[in-house]
């Protein structure tokens, strides 16, 4: 798998979601419920090939990991889904 580059703000949001316990995996399938900004949780499907989310960003993002939302990144980290290496660029 190739490395994917994500923005520092998206990565920070993903880490915050994990640390705040905003993710539930209701079954052994790679489906996750992630509590975001809406009252109802977003539904994330995360596999090694793709991460999709029902959030507004996820509706327009590609199905692969190249431009995933924070919810999909957080679900992958929470669920131990084998995703590509994440690279967070550091601005100087």
The pLDDT of residue 84: 63
| pLDDT tens digits for range 60-85 | 887 777 778 899 888 888 876 766 67
Angle, CA of 30, 65 and 19, to the nearest 5°: 60
Specify burial of residue 1 (Cβ count, 10 A radius: 0-12, 13-18, 19+).
exposed
Rounded to whole angstroms, how far apart are CA atoms 6 and 28? 27
Asked if 41 and 73 touch (Cβ cutoff 8 Å), the reply is no
* pLDDT of the residue at 4: 73
Residue 53: predicted pLDDT: 92
pLDDT of residue 1: 55
The pLDDT score that the predictor gives to residue 92 is: 46
8 A C-beta contact, residue 75 and residue 34 = yes
> pLDDT digits over 10-35, tens only?
888 999 999 999 999 988 888 999 99
Domain ranges for the chain = 4-87
């Amino acid at each position: 798998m190739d490395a994917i580059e994500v923005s520092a703000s998206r990565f920070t949001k993903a880490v915050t979601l994990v640390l705040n316990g905003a993710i539930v995996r209701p079954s052994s399938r790679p489906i996750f419920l992630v509590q975001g900004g809406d009252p109802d949780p977003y539904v994330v499907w995360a596999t090694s090939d793709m991460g999709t989310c029902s959030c507004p960003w996820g509706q327009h993002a590609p199905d692969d990991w190249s431009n995933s939302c924070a919810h999909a990144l957080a679900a992958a980290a929470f669920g131990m889904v084998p995703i590509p290496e994440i690279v967070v660029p550091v601005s100087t």
